[in-house]
């Protein structure tokens, strides 16, 4: 059946990358980064220091990538750099905060999915619909 071959829908990798950037970037800001920003006073000195750089430095790095990095990914601004940073943040969260569990209580299913979504952006770049493309940045 030709209906299931989807020949009637044109392939558009760049549109797919744009949708991926918007969805993952928005959810990262809304679901993670914004909460860290508004709870700065209670989280700054008690943030988990799982990689040994200090609680405050960990908080600043994670909050930067989850807020400004995610916004940059949505816009396609240095998208590969920010996607790699967020992939690392999600790898650390999946590994250390969720003990690499994909099922059960306290599982790391969301960080695992984010990790691979941001790796896709890192490997493919921002695509045609991005500031990187407009400014000539090899993304």
Query: Alpha-carbon distance 123 to 38, whole Å?
Result: 32
Question: Can you give the pTM of this predicted structure?
Answer: 0.88
Query: Alpha-carbon distance 49 to 97, whole Å?
Result: 10
Residue 6 belongs to a domain: no
Number of domains in the chain: 1
Q: Domain range for residue 77?
A: 13-131
How far is C-alpha 115 from the chain's CA centre? 7
**pLDDT at residue 5, as a whole number:** 76
Residue 2 belongs to a domain: no
Residue 77 belongs to a domain: yes
pLDDT by residue for the chain (139 residues), tens only, comes to 666 777 777 788 999 999 999 999 999 999 999 998 888 888 878 888 888 899 899 999 999 999 999 999 999 999 999 999 999 999 999 998 877 767 777 787 899 999 999 999 999 999 999 999 999 887 5
Chain mean pLDDT for the chain: 89
């Amino acid at each position: 059946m030709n209906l299931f071959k989807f020949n009637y829908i044109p392939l558009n990798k760049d549109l797919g990358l744009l949708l991926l950037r918007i969805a993952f970037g928005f959810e990262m800001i809304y679901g993670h980064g914004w909460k860290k920003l508004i709870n700065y006073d209670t989280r700054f000195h008690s943030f988990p220091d799982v990689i040994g750089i200090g609680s405050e430095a960990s908080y600043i790095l994670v909050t930067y990538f989850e807020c400004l990095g995610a916004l940059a990914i949505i816009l396609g601004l240095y998208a590969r750099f920010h996607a790699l940073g967020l992939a690392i943040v999600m790898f650390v969260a999946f590994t250390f905060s969720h003990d690499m569990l994909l099922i059960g209580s306290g599982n790391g299913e969301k960080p695992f999915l984010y990790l691979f979504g941001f790796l896709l952006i890192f490997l493919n770049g921002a695509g045609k619909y991005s500031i990187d493309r407009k400014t000539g940045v090899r993304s």
